[in-house]
Structure formats: structure tokens, C-alpha cells
Amino acid sequence: MSTETMDVFHKKTAVTLFNGVWDLMEKETRSQQETDAMIHMAHASRYHWEQAGNALNLSRGEWQISRVYAILGRAEPALYHAHRNLEICLSNEIRDFDLAYAY
């Protein structure tokens, strides 16, 4: 597969997973299977953005992972990914609402 084809695959996969996480986050109640899927999809989306995205994509991926863990009441991984998000924002001069969300 060409690099361009792989980039398209990674971007499409990242977007699909990111949106799927949003769908699960918005549910008032989730099964354990849905909760597990939400965690895995958030990490998978971030991975695919790392393959073919930019710093803004990585920042938003870290934010989403942090948000998932915050929703689940899991402080340690939520803070870890929040700090990663802030590091990405500061080192890449990402501003506006992305920086605010990182804080």
C-alpha cells in the first residue's frame, strides 16, 4: 500500500473512531462492553492520528482520552492524558479553545 493510501486509511479510521467515542460518551447509560469499547476506541483514534495527523489532531485525541476517563471517574489516566494534551499544545503553539480545554 502506498504512503498516501495508508494516510487516507489512518485519517478515515481516526475520524470514525473519534465520532464513535462521542456517541458512546453522550449515552446516559452504557453497558460494560460499551464502556470498554469507548476506552479502546479513544486510544485507537489517537493512535491513527499519530500515523497520519498533525499536532492539533494529537491534542484533540489526548483530550478525548482524558475526557473518557474523567467521565468514568478514573482520575489517574484522565490526568495523564490531560497533561499530554497540554504538553502537545504548548510545544506546538496550539491556542484558542484547544489550549483552554487542555487546562
Establish how many alpha carbons lie within 13 A of residue 37's alpha carbon, considering only the half-sphere containing its beta carbon. Answer: 13
What is the three-state SS of 55-79?
Answer: HHHHHHHHHHHHHHHHHCCCHHHHH
pLDDT in tens, 44-69: 999 999 999 999 999 999 999 999 99
Inform me whether the pLDDT recorded for 16 exceeds 90: yes
Assign 85 a pLDDT band (cuts: 50, 70, 90): very high
The HSE-up count of residue 22 (CA atoms within 13 Å, CB side) is 9
Residue 100 phi/psi, 5-degree rounding, is: -60, -45
Its pTM stands at: 0.95
Cell of 48: 491513527
For residue 1, pLDDT beyond 90? no
